[in-house]
Structure 1
Amino acid sequence: MKTIIHTDKAPAAIGPYSQAVKAGGFIFVSGQIPVNPATGEVVEGGVEAQTKQVLENLTAILNSQGVGLDAVVKTSVFIKDMNDFQKINAIYGEYFKSEHPARACVEVARLPKDVLVEIEAIAIA
């Protein structure tokens, strides 16, 4: 059995997918991009501001299910430019402070809305 997850505190999906799905004791969070849920616009301020917004969106979705970032067991990080790796890591480390989840990080040619970073996650429900 699965449950589709939606919260107004994170951006709505921009395609035929859900913000997240709960199934089998896990929450599978779709890739989050740096869209401000209040305005529907991509945040300005470079890769640091975009990474913060992505992680705020991810947190909002998890919080809607009564869990936080400490429940995350795996993330996948997609970045436009591997030269931003250290900047993204610095912000990521502010959110995942102690128990770091498993992670993949890859540079991609292009992301939706031409953003600089996207992060998806799997968390324990």
Structure 2
Amino acid sequence: MTDIRRIVSSGSPLEPRIGFSRAVRSGRYVAVAGTAPIGDDGSTVGPGDVHAQTVRCLDIAERALREAGSSLGEVVRTRIMLTDITRWEEAARAHGERFAEIRPVTTFVEVSRFIDPAWLVEVEIDAVTP
């Protein structure tokens, strides 16, 4: 593949407002932006449930990877951001359900809050495609 920059949108109304893309592919590198647990209807998925929210974030990120010509198997780094780090194991369970065999490098960090206070977690992903 040539080094053509390709952007992927999830359709979020925040993308054009903020000026970001859900994912960007440049050559073999794919970056997926901080992905929140937003449902197709715009509401927060799994209010109060870190595991459900993490699953939703990963679903959105995986779809963006596919649209960029990549896959979970090509992920080299994930970042899990939580508003309450004491709940890391709930997010880790969702992460392990997807990445137990792939085993990218991973960082869990606590943040003070997200744009929507109902969001308990956001996920970022980096991948390198063949």
Question: How far did 1:11 drift?
Answer: 4.9
Unaligned runs of 5+ in 2: none
After the TM superposition, list the runs of 4 or more consecutive aligned residues in structure 1 that deviate by more than 6 angstroms: none
The two structures, once aligned, show a CA RMSD in angstroms of 1.5
Cα distance between partner residues in 1 of 2:38 and 2:94: 17
Q: Secondary structure at the match of 2:127?
A: strand
Which of 40, 51, 54 pairs up with 1:51?
A: 54
| Counterparts of residues 8-19 of structure 1 (less than 5 Å) | 10-12=10-12, 14=14, 15-19=18-22
Percent sequence identity over aligned pairs: 29
Alignment check: 8 A CA contact 2:7 2:68 kept? no
Partner of 2:125 in structure 1?
Answer: 121
Question: How far did 1:77 drift?
Answer: 1.1
Cα distance between partner residues in 1 of 2:11 and 2:34: 11
Question: How far did 1:65 drift?
Answer: 2.6
Unaligned runs of 5+ in 1: none
Taking a change above 3 Å as real, the CA distance of residues 47 and 13 of structure 1, as seen in their structure-2 partners, is: same
Question: How far did 1:54 drift?
Answer: 0.4
The reply to whether residue 35 of structure 1 matches residue 38 of structure 2 is: yes
Count of equivalent residues: 121
Question: How far did 1:70 drift?
Answer: 0.9
Cα distance between partner residues in 2 of 1:67 and 1:24: 11
